[in-house]
Amino acid sequence: MLFKNEEVLSPEYLPEIMPHRENQIQELARNIELLAKNKKPENIFIYGPPGIGKTASVKFVFRQFEEFSGIHTVYINTWDYNTTSALLTKIVLSLNYPIPRRGLSKDEILEKLVEILKKLKKGLIVCLDEVDQLIIKDQNALYDLVRIGQYVELPVAVVMISNFKNILARLEPRIVSSLGLTEIEFKPYTLIEMKDILNERCKLAFKEPVEEGVVFLCANHAITRGGDVRVGLECLRKASRIAEEQSSDKLKVEHVKAVLKDVKSVKMQIVKDNLNGVEKNIVEILNDGKTYTSTELLDEYINRFGQISQVALLEHIKRLKDIGLIKTKEDRTGSRGRKVYIRLLKRKRFK
């Protein structure tokens, strides 16, 4: 038996310890402590490149505090919820209160939320992950959120996360001053730090200590591929598959060496394993990280790869969505019918 607990190698696993994020975690925790003591907390802006523990650190701190602090914590990826109404609705639902998902006005939802918080006597801290969309589409939502604190006379704070520091430049001065943001920078990990992180995961994952050199190889691969921890985890997962095929009880350097060339980036492998030609082409277009409307994507596709019908393209987009490679979003607010926005999930991008 190779594994003790295979699950800890999955990127969704939230670790019990996060080496080299102690400072950031402490700073976040300090802020929530203020909140718990009913003192005025700071609103926080976290930034740094992908795959270096931004989301995990916030979830880590939220998990710690949710249990005993009397603070309600909500994690929201604002790609999915990028209007004030959608955000407020999501927060009410997270407090386990029923509310129709559509049909109520912003003020009605706000009133409901204020009423609930007053009743529960609970402060609120909301993490807005991938906040870029929200800032571009409806930054008044931020204003509305932090003002809830005044209505309920309980502390309310937001933690915003982005890959880009300069997204803040898009905020209106009025909103900047109402937020009064404290910035927390997440710097890329060094090789040694990456090794520590992967090492901890290995200790939990495998029955026997891995062979000397295994962690170094995986960490090095992750660092040279852009510094995303998920790449290192992917190396370990793939290598363990080889080890299992060979009925090895120990993960060895030879297993890692056999898979390194296949772990170009996390997404690369998924692409190779699952996609047909058209889908690969679509992914290649979206790989620039931009958001496309379906019409723009169709134009670009025809431009670069030749004729395809809109129906066929949408069919492939649906499949890419089903396998979790892209996100789509509908906008029905425009005057000329619905618009579909499409983008590659960040973590799936080619490096």
Rule CB under 6 A: which residues touch ligand ADP? 11, 15, 18-21, 50-56, 197, 229-230
Give the nearest distance from C-beta 232 to Mg ion in angstroms.
16
Give the nearest distance from C-beta 272 to ligand ADP in angstroms.
21
Residue showing the smallest CB distance to ligand ADP in the complex: 53
305's tokens = 């790869």
Give the nearest distance from C-beta 117 to ligand ADP in angstroms.
28
| Segment interacting with Mg ion (CB under 5 A) among 54-62, 133-141, 165-173, 251-259 | 54-62
Complex with Mg ion: residue 280 or 351, whichever CB lies closer: 351
Choose the one of ligand ADP, Mg ion, none that binds residue 18, judging by a C-beta under 5 to 8 angstroms depending on kind.
ligand ADP
Choose the one of Mg ion, ligand ADP, none that binds residue 11, judging by a C-beta under 5 to 8 angstroms depending on kind.
ligand ADP
DSSP string, 33-51: HHHHTTSPPPEEEEE--TT
Beta carbons within 8 Å of 242's beta carbon, 6+ residues apart: 255, 258, 259
Cβ contact 23:48 at 8 Å: no
Give the nearest distance from C-beta 50 to ligand ADP in angstroms.
4
Can you tell me the distance from the alpha carbon of 205 to that of 65, in angstroms, rounded to the nearest whole number?
26
205 burial (CB, 10 Å; 0-12 / 13-18 / 19+) is buried
Choose the one of Mg ion, ligand ADP, none that binds residue 34, judging by a C-beta under 5 to 8 angstroms depending on kind.
none
Q: Which one of residues 31, 43, 55, 82 is an interface residue with Mg ion (CB under 5 A)? A: 55
**Which CA distances in Å does 13 have to 56, 204, 233?**
9, 12, 11
Structure-derived torsion over alpha carbons of residues 203, 207, 211, 216, reported in degrees to the nearest 10: -30
265 near Mg ion, rule: CB under 5 A: no
Complex with Mg ion: residue 55 or 291, whichever CB lies closer: 55
Tell me how many residues contact Mg ion (CB under 5 A): 1
Which of 282, 329, 348 minimizes the C-alpha distance to 79? 329
Give the nearest distance from C-beta 64 to ligand ADP in angstroms.
15
| Segment interacting with Mg ion (CB under 5 A) among 50-58, 78-86, 90-98, 233-241 | 50-58
Choose the one of Mg ion, ligand ADP, none that binds residue 230, judging by a C-beta under 5 to 8 angstroms depending on kind.
ligand ADP
Complex with ligand ADP: residue 73 or 294, whichever CB lies closer: 73
218's tokens = 């995986």
Q: Which amino acid is at 185?
A: E
Cβ contact 194:223 at 8 Å: yes
Beta bridge partners of 88: none
Cβ contact 184:61 at 8 Å: no
Task: List strands edge to edge, sheet with 156-162.
Answer: 71-77, 123-129, 156-162, 43-47, 181-185
Give the nearest distance from C-beta 351 to ligand ADP in angstroms.
13
Which residues make up the interface to Mg ion (CB under 5 A)? 55
